Each structure stands twice: as C-alpha cells, then as structure tokens.
Amino acid sequence: MHRERGNLQEAISAFRSTLQIYQHIGALDPQSTNWPHGVATSYELIGSVELRAGNLGNALKSYQSALRIRRQLVSVDPSNIIWSHAQVTTLCAIGDIHMAEKRYSQALEIYAEAKTNIEELLKLDRANLYWKYDLGICHERIGDIQQIMHKYAEAQASFLSKQHIIIELSLIDPQNFQWQRDLFVSHMKLAQLMEQQELLDDALRHAEQCLPIIEQVVASAPTMTLWKQDLANARSNVMRLREKIKGKNETLA
C-alpha cells in the first residue's frame, strides 16, 4: 500500500519488518524451505522500492541478498519451477542495475546466466509463452550491451533471436498489443544498429517495417500516450533515414 502511494520510506520499513519476521521464523525452523523463499521475496520487494527511490547501490545489495537465497533454493530442488523462475527475475533485476551504472561486463555476465536458466526452464515446458517472452528479453538485454561494446554481429544475432521469439508470440496471440509493441521495438533496435554501422538501406528497411506494427498498436488504444509517441518517433525516423540516404546518394553522384 505504501509503495503504491509513493511513501517509499514507509514501504521499505514495512518490507524490512516482514523480512525480520521471515528471518526469525526461519531460524526456528531451519529445515523448511518456505521461509527462505519469503526472505528472498522480502529482499526483492525492498530492492524494488530502493530502485524507485533512485538508491541503486542499496537496491543492488538487496537483490544480491535475494539471489544468494534463490541460488541455494534452486540447488536444493532444481525441479521447482517457481524458484527457478524467481531466480531468473532476480538476475535480470541485478543486470538492469549494472546496466544503469554502466558496468557492462558484469551486466552481460548476469544476463547470460539468466538466459541459460530460462532456457533450462523451457526444456521443462516449451509451450510456456511467458518464459519464451522472458528468453526474448534476455536476448534483447544482451544485444543492448553487445551494441554498446561495438560487437555488432553479436548484437544483431541477439536482436534477431529476440525478434524471432516475439514474432512467434505475436502470431499466437495477435491481440496482445504489448507483444506487438515489442515487435515494433525489435525492428527499431535493428534499425539503430544498422544505422550505427552506416548500413542505411538496412536501417530504413527495419524502420519502415515497424511503422504498420505500431500503427496497429496505437489503433487498439488511441489514448495510450506512450504508444502515440512511439508512432511519432517511428515516422520521424523513417523520414530522417530517407533524407540521410538521399543526401548520401547526392554526395556520391
């Protein structure tokens, strides 16, 4: 309740109180795995509030505390898909913090671990659409870092892996407009990557492909401001790339 109302310090205090309760009960019943799960969840909740407050260092410490527990639980019971997926979520949160603080090598290592873990989960249930989506997000995060590191071929492979997944999901559920927007984002990322390498025709191709996608998304929810801004940016990007290609061709003529 405090978190939703923006009372961040009160929320942290409430979650810390819950954490202490779980820790106390866990000390009385050290053989149970229920209480460590609650402890880890409490650390994650504290970390999420610290993030909202802009305290990245404190947030990282909380998520790392949660991850240590998650890893212990998964080692005890690797078949527990709830614990395994929770570990993936925690890893991604840690990766996002490293990314925000420009620790790219550490972020890449964490995202790679998350990707491996979600791939193992998908071996247990290949039809799980939400796990497939999570795998796509891991590919995208890894691609973002590879692009920053100027590893363009690797970044392209990562972005295409994400795109293949989101195309599959979009075909299964075409009414899921969040997934449709993700498909738009995947084309935008590939367009930016191509432009960074001065592959302007390829950049324009991806920029043009994303336009009808985001137009359909906006049509589904005309009052969604973020999506309308996406559409404006996409149109502007196409026009800018066309002008850039035109200018380049005129220079070469």
Which range (15-24, 129-138, 178-187, 193-202) has the least confidence? 15-24
Chain segment 81-137, per-residue pLDDT in tens: 999 999 999 999 999 999 999 999 999 999 999 999 999 999 999 999 999 999 999
**Buried b / exposed e across 153-183, counting CB within 10 Å, b at 16+?**
eebbebbebbbebbeebbeeeeeebebbbbb
CB-based contacts of 207: which residues, under 8 Å, 6+ apart?
187, 188, 191, 234, 237, 238, 241
Across the range 6-23, mean pLDDT stands at 81
Q: Token pair of 138, please?
A: 């891991």
- In 3D space, the residue among 110, 21, 120, 10 whose CA is nearest the CA of residue 63 turns out to be 110
**What is d(CA 247, CA 239) in angstroms, rounded to the nearest whole number?**
12
In CATH, the number for domain 127-253 is 1.25.40.10
| Cα–Cα distance, 62 to 15 (Å, whole number) | 11
Tens-place pLDDT, residues 196-217: 999 999 999 999 999 999 999 9
3-class SS shares of the chain: helix, strand, coil, % to 5: 85, 0, 15
Structure tokens at 186: 């995947």
Tokens of 33: 């795995």
> What amino acid is encoded at 44 in this protein?
E
98 within 8 A of 145, measured Cβ to Cβ: no
For residue 7, give the 3-state DSSP assignment.
Answer: coil
Break the chain into its structural domains and give their ranges. 127-253
Measured CA to CA, the distance from residue 9 to residue 95 in angstroms comes to 24
What is the pLDDT confidence band of residue 253, given thresholds at 50, 70 and 90? Answer: low
How many CA atoms, within 13 angstroms, populate the side-chain half-sphere of residue 116?
Answer: 6
